[in-house]
């Protein structure tokens, strides 16, 4: 008798609260985006875990009000599990093991806002969501964009990671002009 195949390690655990999400597609997309982000930074995906909430605008607006004092929906929120030092050069988190992965933190996506943004930008929703998950994963790893210098570093990482995934620069329009 052959033993059952072991399930592959899942870096991202997706919790779908809004039925408008395609759970299976989002799980695959989130896994790919988060793994690419960690790989780009030389971190092993099998040593970490991320929780992703696929919510509605109302749910994310409530979270945004609770945690940031802004009672409105936003496309993505992130909560790092640990402080990783100065955002100019965040420390590398120590990975756990596949049996006991180190939590990187939590991410929440607002479905209606994400869909509206993708449509307004004329981009496929999958490309926009991939960008948002890469962006949020970088936040979980200590990167931020609170000043121009840090934003340049973070955006450069996003562009490089998305290029590795075959996606265009999200900070440029179709004509290759930098978006404001």
- Tens-binned pLDDT, residue by residue, of the chain (180 aa): 665 555 578 999 999 999 999 999 999 999 999 999 999 999 999 999 999 999 999 999 999 999 999 999 999 999 999 887 666 667 789 999 999 999 999 999 999 999 999 999 999 999 999 999 999 999 999 998 888 888 899 999 999 999 999 999 998 876 667 776
Which helix H or strand E contains 48, and what residues bound it? strand 48-55
DSSP state of 11: S
Helix axes 111-121, 57-68, angle to 10 degrees: 100
pLDDT at res. 88: 65
Measured at the CA of 139, the angle between CA 136 and CA 142, to 5 degrees, comes to: 160
- For strand 76-80 and strand 48-55, is the pairing parallel, antiparallel, or unpaired? unpaired
- Terminal-residue alpha carbon distance, the chain: 61
Q: Where are the domains of the chain?
A: 12-81+100-164
Sorted by sequence, the CB contacts under 8 Å of residue 75 that are 6+ apart come out as 109, 110, 113, 114, 117, 132
What architecture is domain 12-81+100-164? 3-Layer(aba) Sandwich (3.40)
User: How is residue 136 written in tokens?
Assistant: 């949020």
pLDDT at res. 5: 56
pLDDT at res. 4: 57
pLDDT at res. 175: 63
What's the predicted TM-score (pTM) here?
A: 0.92
pLDDT at res. 84: 74
pLDDT at res. 174: 66
pLDDT at res. 134: 98
């Amino acid at each position: 008798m052959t033993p059952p195949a072991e399930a592959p390690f899942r870096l991202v655990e997706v919790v779908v609260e809004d039925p408008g999400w395609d759970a299976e597609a989002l799980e695959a997309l989130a896994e790919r985006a988060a793994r690419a982000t960690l790989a780009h930074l030389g971190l092993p995906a099998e040593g970490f875990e991320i929780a992703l909430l696929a919510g509605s605008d109302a749910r994310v607006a409530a979270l945004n009000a609770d945690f940031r004092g802004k009672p409105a929906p936003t496309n993505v929120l992130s909560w790092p599990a640990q402080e990783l030092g100065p955002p100019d050069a965040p420390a590398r988190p120590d990975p756990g093991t596949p049996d006991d992965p180190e939590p990187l933190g939590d991410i929440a996506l607002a479905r209606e806002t994400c869909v509206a943004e993708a449509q307004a930008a004329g981009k496929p929703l999958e490309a926009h969501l991939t960008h948002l998950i890469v962006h949020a994963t970088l936040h979980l790893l200590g990167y931020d964009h609170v000043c121009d210098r840090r934003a340049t570093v973070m955006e450069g990482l996003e562009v490089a990671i998305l290029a590795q995934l075959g996606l265009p620069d999200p900070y440029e329009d179709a004509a290759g002009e930098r978006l404001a």
